Amino acid sequence: MFRFLLSLAVSCGLAWSQAADSAIIVGNVTDSTGGVMPGARVRLNHLATGAAYSAESNSAGYYRTPPLRPGEYVVEVEAQGFKRTTRRGVVLNVGDTRQVDITLEVGQVTEQVEVAAEAPLLQTTEGSTNTVMENRQILELPLNGRDYLQLARISAGVAPPPRGEFGSSQGISVGGSQATQVNFLIDGIDNNNQSIASQGEQKEAIKPQIDAVQEFKIVTNAYSAEYGRSMGGVVTLTTKSGSNEFHGTLFEFLRNEKMDAKNFFVPAAARKPQFRRNQYGFAAGGPVIKNKMFLFGDSEWTNIRESATSVNTLPSLVERTGDFSGNATRIHDPGSYSAATGTRQPFPNNMIPPSRIDPVSARVRTFFPAPQTAAATRNFTYIRPRSHPATN
């Protein structure tokens, strides 16, 4: 899959609602005595992109920001007759509603109070249960096939779907629901495969490679109004969109059969089946116009060459000529059926005459390989290829 994203950072004014792929900050502005502070100016700066946002406290001292992109922010609050207060280290994840209360001290606006290190902020504005997987976890935790959704299964209430269920090959079950009842969002847009019930493929319409994922969140119950659609959980994912610094990566991951065990039931001389899986690609992003426009692009390809060991039974060379004299099972002549007795007569000496062998069958038997052992069953071992088209 190849994706090419162009992100334009612009300051936005009044926001009417919160989108599922964004976050907001709410809080109260008070003075040192606890009195409310109406008209306080709140400014927010996104450290990665320099994007600036603003809000103002109302008559009750309450403020609410417009929808914000996930990331780390610096929050500045100022009012006439009070020192400017700066709150650093405010980290927003996708879908967050963070409570950040500010207390202003009397003084000149040119004076500044800076709060640098505080206890982690708690989610106290809604009752949903969720788990956020950040970029570092996605990139550094082991994933089979670089599938980010495997990390969702370590969240409380999330498990692999039952065997045989449509969409179970790569999906998840939340709270015991079917895999088809999980709602997937990518950058706030519906990302559900509508044909999942008939095809049984992956639930997401688009599955970005992990170097393009900024973070994702699994909401398992009591989710708020911006979600919905499904009776199960919600997986909402945000992709990277570039920042004020250039970042890039080239990668290739290889898996092969060198450390695999041999099939226990095959002969000792048989070789291990081939397995080669190559995943390779790139991801890069950076500024086009600093603090205003950013560029991010990525691509990933997967090539798989695989084979499997099969053990089968082939007729012996003698049996292919119609000679079953060494076989304890009697071979009966189908042309000797007697309606009176309901029986057929066996071939003499348990041998089928050459004239009774069908010409098509005689031709087909020439294509059979010779058995590898003298055993009557399980006498032929071979390695057959499996077809996997290249994906990207």
pLDDT (tens digit per residue) in 28-50: 999 989 999 999 999 999 999 99
pLDDT at 20 over 80: no
Q: What are the tens digits of pLDDT across the range 250-279?
A: 999 988 888 888 877 777 777 788 888 899
pLDDT of residue 67: 92
Q: Which of the pair, 263 or 118, is modelled with greater confidence? A: 263
- What is the per-residue pLDDT for 372? 87
Q: Which residues lie below 8 Å from residue 284, measured CB to CB, with a gap of 6+?
A: 246, 247, 248, 249, 296, 297, 298
How confident is residue 341, by pLDDT bands cut at 50, 70 and 90?
A: confident
3-state secondary structure of 235: strand
Are 171 and 161 in contact, with CB atoms under 8 Å apart? Answer: yes
Q: 252: which residues sit within 8 A by CB, 6+ positions away?
A: 278, 279, 280
Q: Are 185 and 207 in contact (CB under 8 A)?
A: no
Domains of the chain: residue spans and CATH: 7-115 (2.60.40.1120), 129-239 (2.170.130.10)
Return the number of other C-beta atoms located less than 10 Å from residue 388's C-beta: 13
Region of poorest pLDDT, from 291-295, 344-348, 378-382: 378-382
Residues contacting 253, CB < 8 A, separation 6+: 146, 277, 278, 279, 280
The pLDDT tens digits of the residues spanning 204-252 come to 888 899 999 999 999 888 777 777 777 788 999 999 988 999 999 999 9
Q: Would you give the end-to-end CA distance of the chain in angstroms? A: 4
Length of the chain: 392
pTM of the entire structure? 0.69
Phi/psi of residue 335, nearest 5 degrees: -85, 0
User: Is 5 a residue whose pLDDT tops 50?
Assistant: no
- Per cent of the chain over pLDDT 70 is 86
